[in-house]
Structure 1
Amino acid sequence: MVKLILLFTLVPLAELFFLIKVGEYVGVGWTILLVASTGIVGVSLAKLQGLAIIGKTKFTLAQAKMPKDELIDGLLVLIGAAMLLTPGLLTDLAGFSLIIPFTRARIRSIVKDKFKGKIITGSFNFGPSSVNQDYNQNKDDDETIIDIDDYEEID
């Protein structure tokens, strides 16, 4: 929660600072043009990359394989496009790094390693942590769980 509060307060302040500094050097009009053009170019590039990822995903599925990298790439491009639509130079830089294939591949490997570590340690949750607690509290103590692999056939 604290990380989100810092993210949503410090990032806009840093963006505002850099926009003011760039505006002082090149002028307000050029700064606005720069922010608008990075947004337009970035979203166009995101669309092209998104279509390429959809094509790769279809090809991988046609081979009866799970499109793991393509799904992560799609998420990274989506996040990158959202960052490019946000006015600012830092978010544009981060957005372009998520959309350009070379840098995206490096970021994808970092994301995969992070997910893998969380899954191995069991610290990866798909929702509120209270869901599992609520389930365990409502569970009957007399409930018997039968594993289908542990059975004997009776004639």
Structure 2
Amino acid sequence: MKRRGRVLQTIVLAVIVAAVLEIGGIMIVSHWIGGAATFGLMLATAVAGALAARSEGRKALTEAKRQMQTGQPPGRAILDGLCILGGGLLLMLPGFISDLVGLTLLLPPTRLFYRQLLLRWLEKVMRGGGSGPFIIGKWQGRH
């Protein structure tokens, strides 16, 4: 139970720090280019993020279907899909730091980095280490 409390505290702290950084970034950009232009830029990145996520998501779904039809496990395509979903969501959030991370999640060359991180984390969870109790703890007899 103590571990879950620490994880929750870490998540809450990360959300607060991210929000403060995003607000600071918005304030700096609005000082440089003005409030209306900043709002327009944030709106444009949200729309572009939704369109890019839709396009890249279709590619990942097509690849997953192709792999399943050939009898291959669609692991890479599923991880790509998770990265694309996260990237699209980050681009739709207001703020420029989340936009930068979201963009890197959508672009295939930089998505490789995130896919490797996800793969390592999943391997650690499946071996019983890391933050696995939240996902597979009940299957392992942990409560």
Give the TM-score range, shorter chain: 0.7 to 0.9
- Decide whether aligned partners of structure 1 residues 60 and 128 sit closer, same or farther in structure 2, where only a CA change above 3 A counts: closer
Report how far residue 129 of structure 1 moved: 4.2
For 2:16 and 2:115, locate their aligned partners in 1 and report how far apart those are by CA, in whole Å: 27
- Decide whether aligned partners of structure 1 residues 47 and 93 sit closer, same or farther in structure 2, where only a CA change above 3 A counts: same
- Decide whether aligned partners of structure 1 residues 113 and 27 sit closer, same or farther in structure 2, where only a CA change above 3 A counts: same
Identity %: 23
- TM-score, normalising length: structure 2: 0.85
- Decide whether aligned partners of structure 1 residues 108 and 31 sit closer, same or farther in structure 2, where only a CA change above 3 A counts: same
Higher gyration radius (CA): 1
Q: What is the CA RMSD across the aligned residues, in angstroms?
A: 1.8
1:47 to 54, 61, 65: 54
| C-alpha distance after superposition, 1:105-131 (max 9, x if no partner) | 1211122123223433x2233537467
Question: Which letter maps to 1:41?
Answer: A
- Decide whether aligned partners of structure 1 residues 57 and 43 sit closer, same or farther in structure 2, where only a CA change above 3 A counts: same
Residues 133, 142 of structure 2: 8 Å contact kept? no
Deviating 4+ runs (over 6 angstroms): none
Higher helix share: 2
For 1:133 and 1:45, locate their aligned partners in 2 and report how far apart those are by CA, in whole Å: 40
Aligned residues: 133
Report how far residue 42 of structure 1 moved: 1.3
- Counting only pairs closer than 5 Å after superposition, residues 13-32 of structure 1 correspond to structure 2 as 13-32=20-39
- TM-score, normalising length: structure 1: 0.79
Unaligned runs of 5+ in 1: 135-155
| C-alpha distance after superposition, 1:129-153 (max 9, x if no partner) | 467246xxxxxxxxxxxxxxxxxxx
